[in-house]
Amino acid sequence: MDDQERRSMPLFSIGIVKKLTELTARQIRYYEENALVFPERTTGNQRLYSFHDVDRLLEIKDLLERGINLAGIKHILTEKEHKNPKDARVTDKKVRKMIRNELLFETGKMGKSNMLQGEMSRFFH
């Protein structure tokens, strides 16, 4: 296992991430809703964050403290990923995670939050 894989492993609960980043749970969830971080989900739907996620949250926090708005942060992070494609590698696992998060967000808005637990859950592991 290389360092990149280790740093991508989902290890930390939101409580630990709150302590490491000094962000509130609501802030962390808000950044997830806005597709800035993509934590893994356990079968019980608990968020688990990797070292990369913690680093990204700290970077978001720093950019906000410098007065950059959310749109600017998205642009900066996107540009950064384009310049360093090693960090921007989109694996099958990452694509499934992004789609799952989007479905959770959209179905939650429509009041169908248990959709993924039923019919769609077979696609996300």
Q: Are residues 45 and 94 in the same domain?
A: no
Shared domain check, 103 and 54: no
CB 48 within 8 A of CB 41: yes
DSSP H helices, the chain, are 3-8, 14-21, 25-33, 51-65, 70-83, 85-88, 92-109
Q: Which pLDDT tens digit goes with each residue over 32-65? A: 999 999 999 999 999 999 999 999 999 999 999 9
Q: Is the pLDDT of residue 8 over 70?
A: yes
Indicate if 84 and 105 belong to the same structural domain: no
Whether 37 and 27 share a structural domain: yes
User: Average of pLDDT values for 71-77?
Assistant: 92
Residues 9, 62: one domain? Answer: yes
Q: State how far the Cα of 104 lies from the Cα of 96, in Å rounded to an integer.
A: 12
- Domain residues for 31? 3-88
Asked if residue 99 and residue 79 are part of one domain, the reply reads no
